[in-house]
Chain A
């Protein structure tokens, strides 16, 4: 996984932050104000963490609620192990979990055919909430549920999370 720690900053223009794409079951962390983007969230959840004091931000795109039944898998695929991984990776860049704030988006109920019980989207959101609360990280903004897809842009310079949905106004969390 790539880590952007500022060493490549000379190559980028000062006014135009680097844009880094985060795929499904992937994450990115930045300490140099890059814009982290992820697209096409359906039932998946995007978790954006920001530590303002240490200027470190991170974004992960998780797909399934729990890692426990899946051996040998990528931790970034799951809401629980993925959120933990994101916190740890940001700590490696100097962030502190008690100074982090979270914004989350996604977890749509669209096209859920499971009979009875909560949808995968709901379960993903619930698992993210529980994991964040174990670290004591507050959720300061969210746009979850519904029956539509979303794309996200985390502006690591100020911690804003811009949520784009089809046929809807953009939201800035």
Chain B
């Protein structure tokens, strides 16, 4: 089964339009002024889905769908935000728990019919869905049980984030299709020329990323004594302008390199400010006077970014059996979106969409979390995957099952 940029783009747009349709219904019904922020299609380890939800309690609705696509979809938001949302729909209802629940369900109903109808219309096929049911739960536990993925380790997920303008309310839509029908549909929409990528190679690529992150995490541990674990590894496909968008205004400290070889692109290591201070101090022989981020902290981050980058690209080079070289790291301390925008723009001169490779590492011992992101040139990535010998994935020492 093969996918290509066209089929990925088609489905990304479809999910985005579905989310927009759902949002339009919501706005009409409630007067809430909301807009879809980002939609992405990702291939991700089953266990890692919903990692971005953090530790909050969520409520929402869930429904199953079957036909051209089978699986589950949920629409959720933080429980703490229920009052604002329910009040917008039925003033006074938020005090009454059962009224509040039916208001949430009603919002779900409104949004979900818009979402699924958009898909069915575009695919020219029938998609039936069950009535949405009310759900509540802790962070990622609220998401549906794994869809039927057969023997595959990784699943496709469509995720949309919808922001309520002027309020700190974010809605999330997750659509988890069963693997085989989704892969088949992606295959049908591929143009079938030389640009197609076998889906299982994308999965191998994810394994490479995980291996790279583990190496980077081992390097951090060796240098700082902080025991870290690599957490998430996923490959997503988004329009190029959505690459910076998902980072927002939050401040980060980190390093960026350009790597060359097959593929070429950018590798970004990011720490939130608190993590940067924590990890930099672990590297320093003497305690710093200030908790603020200083130039000394940044120098330590530069060193660490360099060693993490090397660890990460070594993982790739092993599997690709070729050297991956990179420029010296440039230290950066700025808003996430500002850091990513020039990198996306440099790739955007030649491509409309980008594969984004995301991984995270963290530890429970201290306040520490780090992200590694790679932005490869998409044509070169396709060529590299084409040349990739799936058997060599063993070199990553990861458990790969197809």
Contact = CB atoms under 8 A, between A and B. Distances in A.
Interface of A: 2, 11, 18-21, 23-25, 39-44, 63-64, 70, 73-74, 77, 108, 110-114, 119-121, 148-151, 166-167
A67 to B, nearest CB: 12
A148 B338 contact: yes
A148 to B, nearest CB: 6
B332 A151 contact: no
Contacts of B251: 166
Contact of B342 (A2, A25, A111, A166): A111
25 contacts: A19-B166, A21-B165, A23-B245, A24-B337, A39-B249, A40-B247, A40-B248, A41-B338, A42-B337, A42-B340, A42-B345, A44-B341, A108-B338, A110-B332, A110-B334, A111-B256, A111-B332, A111-B342, A112-B346, A119-B342, A149-B335, A150-B338, A166-B333, A166-B334, A166-B335
Contact of B249 (A2, A40, A108, A110): A40
A150 B241 CA distance: 17
B87 to A, nearest CB: 14
Interface in B306-365: 327, 330, 332-346, 348-349, 352
Contact of B346 (A2, A114, A150): A114
Nearest to A166: B334
A43 B339 CA distance: 9
A39 B335 contact: yes
Nearest to A2: B35
B37 interface: yes
A148 B342 CA distance: 11
Contact of B345 (A43, A150, A167): A43
Contacts of A114: 346
A167 B346 CA distance: 25
A73 B351 CA distance: 11
A-B residue pairs, 7 tightest by C-beta: A149-B338, A40-B337, A42-B341, A43-B342, A42-B338, A25-B241, A113-B258
Interface residues of B, number: 38
A149 B330 contact: no
A77 B327 contact: no
A74 B242 CA distance: 13
Given A21-B163, A111-B256, A149 B345 contact: no
Contact of A64 (B327, B343, B348): B348
A23 B244 CA distance: 10
Nearest to B268: A111
**Residue from B242, B256, B258, B349 having most chain A Cβ neighbours under 10 A:** B349
Contact of B165 (A20, A113, A150): A20
Contacts of B92: none
B336 A40 contact: yes
Contacts of B345: 42-44, 63-64, 120
Contacts of A11: 31
Given A41-B338, A70-B352, 5 more contacts: A39-B249, A43-B341, A110-B332, A110-B339, A149-B341
Nearest to A39: B249
Nearest to B334: A149
B244 A42 contact: yes
B153 to A, nearest CB: 33
Contacts of B338: 40-42, 108, 110, 148-150, 166
Contacts of B344: 63
Contact of B166 (A18, A23, A74, A149): A18
B29 to A, nearest CB: 15
Contacts of B266: 113
B270 to A, nearest CB: 12
A171 B247 CA distance: 24
Nearest to A23: B245
**Residue from B244, B256, B330, B340 having most chain A Cβ neighbours under 10 A:** B244
Contacts of A43: 341-342, 345
Contact of B352 (A23, A24, A73): A73
A9 to B, nearest CB: 13
A25 B37 CA distance: 12
Contacts of B245: 23-24
A111 B269 CA distance: 13
Given A21-B163, A23-B37, A63-B241, A39 B346 contact: no
A153 B342 CA distance: 21
Contacts of A39: 248-249, 335, 337
**Residue from B241, B249, B340 having most chain A Cβ neighbours under 10 A:** B241
Contacts of B340: 42
Contacts of A41: 338, 341
B332 to A, nearest CB: 6
A42 B344 CA distance: 10
Nearest to A70: B352
B342 A112 contact: yes
A21 B35 CA distance: 10
A150 B327 CA distance: 26
A109 to B, nearest CB: 8
A111 B343 contact: yes
